[in-house]
Each structure stands twice: as C-alpha cells, then as structure tokens.
Amino acid sequence: MTAPTFLIGVDTEADDQWTLEGRTALTVRNAERLPRLQALCDRFGMRPSYLVTWEMATRPSSASILRELAQGGRCEIGTHLHPWSSPPFRPEDRATGTYPHQLPRELLERQLTELTQAIETNVGVRPVSYRAGRHGFDEKTVPILEALGYVVDSSVDPLYNERRKGGAVFAGAPLVPYRLDYADVRRPGAARLLEIPVSADTTPGLPKALEAAYASLRPIPWRGYFKRLGLRPRWLRPSYTGLADTVALATSLVARGLPLNLLFHSSELLPGGSPYNKDEAAVDRFFEALEKLFAHATGTLGARGQTYAEYAAAWTAAHPTGGLGAEERPFRDVAPMGPAPGSPRRRNPMVEARAS
C-alpha cells in the first residue's frame, strides 16, 4: 500500500504583502525564519516547496538563505509571481495588488520569464513548480508556464472566491490532482502541466455539485449565513482553520486517497509580517500547530513528505494518460472563468443567487 503524501507549499514572499506599505517596502526579514521551519520539517521527514517571489530571489540576504536550503536537498525552490514586485511592473500594480491573471499576456509572460531566470541565477536551481500570487491563475498562464519548463501548478483552490475584488473563482474544480485544460483551469484536459489543488472542502462534506454552488456564492454574506446553519469551509491552512478541523481534514483526505497540500506564507513566520501572527507568541503557536499536524499526519496517518516536483514525477508515472475518478469530476453548471459568448448553461438556483 502506498503511503499518503504530504505536500507543503510555502508562498515565500516579502513581509506584509497585504498592505500598500508592505508592497512598497518589500522587506524580506521573514527569510531569517525559514531555517527554523526547515528544521521542523526535517524532524518529520517533510520536504517543503518554497515558492519564491522576485525580491526573495534577488535580495542577497534572502537569496543566500534560499540557496543554502536548496543545496541541502531537503526542499524544492519554485516560483511565486507578484505583479507589483516582478519587473517590469507598473505603479498601479503595487497600489492595487494586481492578480497575475489580470496582466496582459505579454507582460505576464515577460514577468514569469524574468522571475524564472532570476531564481535560477541567484538561488542556483531552475524552478519547475508554480503558484500564482493571490491565486491569480487562468487559462492563458498554462502555455506560458509550459514553455518555461514548469511541470506543476498549485494555484487552484476549489473554495477560493475573490470575484468581488476582481480575483479568480475556482468553484467546481476537483480536489484530486489533474492535468489542466487549456480552456478552463477548473477541469481536467490535455495540458502537460499538472494541477495540485490546495486542500480545501466543507464540513459537513457536500456532493461536488453542491460544493461548486456553495463556492460560487459571494463569501460575504453567504458563508457567514451558512456557517450559522452548521456548514463551514476548511482549508489545510493553520491560519485559516483551527487545529481540530485541520487534523480532521487531513484524516478525511487520506481516507479518500488524496494528497495533503498545506499552504501558508513565509511572512507568517515573522511577528507582524502578516495579518495572522502579530507577535512572537502567535508565531510560536503557529509552529506548535504545524508540529501537531505533522505528528498526526506522519504518525497516525502514515504520510510521507514530498516536494511538488517529486509528487508530479510519481503521479505521471502512475497516470500516463491522466484521469479522474467520477466523484471528482468538475461541476460544469458553473460558468468557466472565461466563457465563450453565448455559451449555453443550465439553470442552477444556488449559482444564480450569487452576486455578479
């Protein structure tokens, strides 16, 4: 029997990228906290994938730490694009925190190309794994990544919905890894790029069609309303989801034969570096939660750590033609992110209730 897989994708970025002040300063003090995280991962055999922004790859203080981690062979260095820090960037991108998929194709391609080269030059490895900043990922990104030699993306989150801010909505996307479709990143297709979705579901669980309708609704006020009725989302994200729900989600994923894909930001390791951990005590509690989750995953569940690239290689060997189980087929009643004009669509009352 194959052991369950535990994946860790760390969005390795500058401090406090939630505010204009942070996006302007682009300080990288949180990089000094990465060795502590790596030491914890080493204790449990975890192999994190550090998905790196331009400033983390090019500032000498952070690049040297990443280079040392990469040379140790205990982790992977991947790519994380923030349009406001990757050249050539526009002043308006810093002001608004632009999502990568909002960029013109030519600018997106140039930023990804230059960021990929910067990581290779300064950290010493050619990245093959990617996550879009703010999950700003769509169909036009797929062929660009493939042309640059990427094999893995982990931008899709089946419960992610930032339509009100101009961001992506991934309602209906599978939770199981799949080859991406060039026309809709929420469904399997013929692309070479493997999607490893962020681990997220609801409790209690919903059939895929209902989960897609739930995820399509505007988070405010609908998720608060459903939470009062006993339905709530949960992510494999310690800053989003309490430890009990995180452990329960990990257990559920393993029971369904799915990998565990944990997400957080490197800035969460620094007091005040994110909205989540304001002081050193909060950072210590964050590490304690990680330790308990790792202990449950490796001890009770028998999981073993892999990087995204390692997982992709094993997945490709086991699935030479791709494919999904019937229970993980994407729900097609939700309009694609980029629908063709006049595309037919069956009615769905829950979906129609969402705000445009």
d(CA 195, CA 198): 9
pLDDT, one tens digit per residue, over 206-251 is 999 999 999 998 888 888 889 899 999 999 999 999 999 999 999 9
- Give the per-residue pLDDT at 322: 67
**288 found inside a domain:** yes
Question: Full-prediction pTM beyond 0.85?
Answer: yes
**47 found inside a domain:** yes
**356 found inside a domain:** no
Q: DSSP per residue over 85-147, as a string?
A: TSSS--HHHHHHT--GGGS-HHHHHHHHHHHHHHHHHHHSS---EEEEGGG---TTHHHHHHH
**349 found inside a domain:** no
**63 found inside a domain:** yes
Confidence of residue 306 (pLDDT cuts 50, 70, 90): very high
- Give the per-residue pLDDT at 264: 98
Tally of structural domains, the chain: 1
Query: Which residues constitute the domain of residue 256?
Result: 5-328
Please give the DSSP secondary-structure letter assigned to residue 3.
Answer: P
Q: What is the CATH number of the domain that holds 105?
A: 3.20.20.370
**338 found inside a domain:** no
pLDDT, one tens digit per residue, over 76-90 is 999 999 999 999 989
pLDDT of 1 > 90? The answer is no
**28 found inside a domain:** yes
**336 found inside a domain:** no
